[in-house]
Structure 1
């Protein structure tokens, strides 16, 4: 508590001189403080803003679109996952991609739906939701704030005003695309998806085959966006197959 009070005092004491002379530095200080004190509820709120922004910038399949109807059919049993309400939408974009954010938003791209079976889509969504359940997306948002603080400091030192605003910090570029997860986090998200599939009576092998399809995609016109920092897809598929054998779920 003393540390928080001291930080508040220092920030308010610097407001007059710093805000007048170096607005970028002031923004950096505020962003740095925000990243340190950010709560789960605040992360969810920022995530919601990010998704709203992305929904307005991408073609979203309407309620009667065949892609929406297919997705609704696939996820009809999973409107709430681990106590988190989930909202699903399809982006009519040819990229092989999907993402989930800390507020429970899941967005699946048309390109991914075109190459995956229903169960494979569930397995991939389970992986992305795993990042939310494991608080990886919360930590990614904090890192986005910290990166912005650094950039604002650099801008202020060069005599320019920092360009990033709080609304821009909630943007898709800084939060979803700009974030990356460690191999440990990716493995834990894989494990969450495996357990999700197993618990709900789906074949866990769909997780393995989805990775194998993604491996083929990466061997073509480049690695799909959401796999750019992931462990090797073939190795992940084999890991799932080995685990399924140990669990007696495959031969």
Structure 2
């Protein structure tokens, strides 16, 4: 992936990618929604259908780690047991890029970037994934796509009057994709996802102090080389320092707080043992006298 994805999904939103071209949503998918979105009604199924189409485009245009890749093996080890959470079916993949990001979509797709896996240990990564699951469970991702559709559909007077999604032009569909990419979750939604992450860690027996640690890492990033960009992009979201403080405060109140020590980070695939080659002993041939 050559185009830069800078800010982590936990700070921004589903589809909050920088400098990415809008993903086109096919007429086939939109038409299949039919009366489901007529009159601007928008069910979970409608949102999932649109999200699935967009994620398929993202997967097709980004380097996805294969099943034998160390990143996939690690994520599967951590996340495989959580493919069904709160009644939501999840699927996950790793984009093999250096950028630091993660995002979730209304269809249950979770995508984690290798750059994030390089700087967070297992517990910290689970805290981030828990946050992303929270956005799906809380319907934040559905609302983001719904807002994008309504905004672009209303640009066309005829569409607005008829409420018929099939008459949207390809250009409008492209704008819907762009709007989804640029959308942001509200502060309240981010806060609720933070709470979900903490509860997710506690419920599953993980170290809740990793939630604070993950936010401290993001806080340090925001104070580094990308600080000006991060400040701009985080203007509508709680700052990482405060979110880390909130996680620490809750852990302290519950008697669970302990300064978190980051564990070893290993994204390498296990070395396969070489199969010993069988040597066939040559039979001695008796020489004739």
TM-score (norm 1): 0.77
Q: Which residue of 2 aligns with 1:231?
A: 238
Q: Which residue of 2 aligns with 1:78?
A: 82
Higher helix residue share: 1
Q: Are 2:137 and 1:130 equivalent residues in the alignment? A: no
**Shift in Å at residue 169 of structure 1?**
5.9
Distance 2:48 2:244 in 1: 31
**Shift in Å at residue 225 of structure 1?**
10
Larger relative CO (CA 8 A, sep 6+): 1 or 2?
A: 2
Distance 1:181 1:135 in 2: 11
Deviation per CA, 1:160-207: give whole Å up to 9, x if none: x965344x3664x432x3111111111000000010000000011111
Instruction: Rate the CA distance shift 1:227–1:79 in 2: closer, same or farther, 3 A.
Output: farther
Paired residues, number = 211
- Matching of residues 75-224 of structure 1 within 5 Å: 75-152=79-156, 164-166=171-173, 168=174, 171=177, 173-175=178-180, 177-220=181-224, 221=226, 222-223=229-230
Q: Which residue of 2 aligns with 1:37?
A: 41
Deviation per CA, 1:60-104: give whole Å up to 9, x if none: 111111111111111122111111111110011221110000111
Structure showing greater radius of gyration is: 2
Secondary structure, counterpart of 2:66 in structure 1: coil
**Shift in Å at residue 218 of structure 1?**
1.4
**Shift in Å at residue 230 of structure 1?**
2.5
Moved more, 192-201 or 221-230: 221-230
Contact 1:96 1:225 in 2 (8 A): no
Q: Are 2:250 and 1:246 equivalent residues in the alignment? A: no
Secondary structure, counterpart of 1:76 in structure 2: helix
Secondary structure, counterpart of 2:58 in structure 1: helix
**Shift in Å at residue 36 of structure 1?**
2.1
Gaps of 5+ in 1: 1-29, 154-160
Distance 2:69 2:176 in 1: 29
Contact 1:99 1:226 in 2 (8 A): no
- Matching of residues 9-20 of structure 1 within 5 Å: none
Instruction: Rate the CA distance shift 1:59–1:225 in 2: closer, same or farther, 3 A.
Output: farther
Secondary structure, counterpart of 1:95 in structure 2: coil
Secondary structure, counterpart of 1:223 in structure 2: helix
Distance 1:77 1:39 in 2: 28
Contact 2:152 2:172 in 1 (8 A): no
**Shift in Å at residue 39 of structure 1?**
1.1
Distance 1:59 1:123 in 2: 24
Instruction: Rate the CA distance shift 1:164–1:69 in 2: closer, same or farther, 3 A.
Output: same
TM-score (norm 2): 0.67
Q: CA RMSD in A?
A: 2.5
Q: Which residue of 1 aligns with 2:61?
A: 57
Distance 2:50 2:232 in 1: 22
